[in-house]
Chains A and B, each alone.
Chain A
Amino acid sequence: MATISIKNIASAIYESSLGKSGVELDAVTKKAVNLISKKHLLSKSKELLIQLEKIVDKSEEVVRAKISSRIKIDKKTTDEIEDFIKKRYKAKNTIMEFEVDEKLLGGIKIQIGDEIIDMTLKNKIKKLQNYLITN
């Protein structure tokens, strides 16, 4: 028998609580917690939450992006980035997290899940260094 992964449990919880609210949802939550504790997986609750979040995001077509830049980005650029992300990942909504990092020297870096679009000056310099060494 295949082992039950955290992902499996997360999707089971999601499916059983779908479309429920109030007392019903409470009952499902209680049962879910009981199951987790019975399977001795309470220590993995953090991972479980991350998986749940992923499943919810996927079904609701939400994309989480982390954007790093050297200086704070203005509203116009933010909107542009949002449009770009929505188009590229075919998402309805985006949750964007902004971060200012002076070490990037310039440009921006967009991180979505395990994909990175790195357009920072730091990365470019690194690439140039590699290019000059190998040629």
Chain B
Amino acid sequence: MTKNYIVENLKKQIESFKDEARAEKVGHVIEVFDGIAKISGLSDIKSSEMVSFPNGEIGVALNLEEDSVGVIILGDFTKIREGDVVKATNQILSVPVSDLQIGRVLNALGAPIDGKGAIKTDKSNPIEKVAPGVITRLSVSQAVQTGIKAIDALIPIGRGQRELIIGDRQTGKTAIAIDTILNQKGQDMICVYVSIGQKDSKLRKLQTRLEEGGAMEYTIIVSAGSSESAALSYIAPYTGVSIAEYFMDQGKDVLIIYDDLSKHAVAYREISLLLRRPPGREAFPGDVFYLHSRLLERACRRNKEYGGGSITALPIIETQSGDLSAYIPTNVISITDGQIFLETDLFYKGIRPAVNVGFSVSRVGSSAQIKAMKKVSGTLKLDLAQFRELEAFSQFGSDLDESTKNQLERGKRAVEVLKQPQYAPYATEDQVVVLYALTKGLMDDVAVDKIKLFEEGLIDYAKRNAKTFYKEVTTTKMWTDVGEQELVKTITDFKSGFNK
């Protein structure tokens, strides 16, 4: 590259620069503290409009008062001083969106933070958007395969659904989310993982895990770390969903995970209290319900006339010692279309994923399940419910009648089958085979501690010997009598070999 070339290039760029005199609205910083600035002037500013500070930092106007404006500062606020001139930009806060963002780690403003270089894009989406209306929507009918038996069979999630993952700390909430992302390989799904107020080390670990699993090829991570300001934590989920909407607008299916919304609510509480908005229950501001409802309402499945595509949302909420009746958990439970409830007790009993099947529901997901899965999971739910009821009795041991004993034995096996290690997703067809064997009582004479071994062997064997069944389930989503007979024979054959 010669010197002349650089000069020529610069010349061209300078020539293409156009500037026109414009009247700009300005204000002056009255006070600045803890990421909040109070600004005088700025008379015609809109709510959630961007403002720019002299050193290039941007802020968002949240409180519009009679003669001042309360602004949250996105970024470094230590260099902003009293009396600084603040300019209104006439733009609602928006984030850059691009196909090139796939595989990258972004901050809450959509800028890459993974050191892989800048992302060139000229398109941006406003972070706040009204959710799609009724006429543009379609009800849930296609499944999101998590690869986790307990979820796919009992609490199925459909594309466009909002399913809450809720539980105490250290119960495997993020693990379920990660497993779900890993299982989306080849399912034609873009994943967005929004990390809110998480440790950077945890994020790094997660990113490495996704890279190892080849999941970063279809995943975008949006992160507002715990060392960053509350303002960034507050906008991160909206940034995530704006990026998700960009892909949905192309007719794609998107899965978005908010990890976690409890921290998001806490960040919003911090901002609200600093802006002197009146505190309500648990010191949260009055609009904390709207904070989450407008975010989650943007998850949807659109019909063909309006471009198709879907956004499935998996928000995560952390409870304090299993208290589901706290403010934020009840809010989010009522907003979402169901919840997956994880319990510490189950986790330490070795039942992992520690899903409490009784408290978990999916209000719309069952219509997304394939017919074969519905058939096997229907009786499974009943088996487990009866088992839980009878479990207390089982302590008395021998005095039980034959049918009760059978139910108990079946229940024990069901619990065993639903256990699953992390990063080991099951294909739907494999799940159907195992659950078929369980619910039809074909596993009743296998010892409980050998169930895991039996299961693994069976899948392997069935894949080779029940090809008709597999083909039927894959293509028509349901088996025929021919396939069923073949499967029963396969299972019996395998069992006789296994029990020897």
Contact = CB atoms under 8 A, between A and B. Distances in A.
Interface in A108-135: 113-119, 124, 127-128, 131-132, 135
A114 B19 contact: no
A122 to B, nearest CB: 12
Interface of A: 5, 7, 113-119, 124, 127-128, 131-132, 135
Contact of B25 (A115, A124, A131): A115
A128 B19 contact: yes
B327 to A, nearest CB: 29
A7 B65 CA distance: 13
20 contacts: A7-B67, A114-B25, A114-B41, A114-B42, A115-B23, A115-B25, A116-B23, A116-B24, A116-B25, A117-B21, A117-B23, A117-B24, A119-B21, A128-B17, A128-B19, A131-B13, A132-B13, A132-B14, A132-B17, A135-B13
Contact of B43 (A5, A114, A117, A128): A114
**Interface of A (DSSP majority class):** mixed
A115 B85 CA distance: 11
Interface of B: 10, 13-14, 17, 19, 21-27, 40-43, 66-67
B51 to A, nearest CB: 12
A89 B215 CA distance: 59
Given A114-B41, A114-B42, A135-B13, A7 B66 contact: yes
Contacts of B43: 113-114
A118 B23 CA distance: 7
A114 B27 contact: yes
Contact of B24 (A7, A115, A131): A115
Given A5-B66, A132-B13, A135-B13, A114 B23 contact: no
A131 B12 CA distance: 13
Contacts of B42: 114
Contact of A117 (B13, B22, B27, B66): B22
Contact of B14 (A5, A113, A128): A128
Contact of A114 (B14, B17, B22, B26): B26
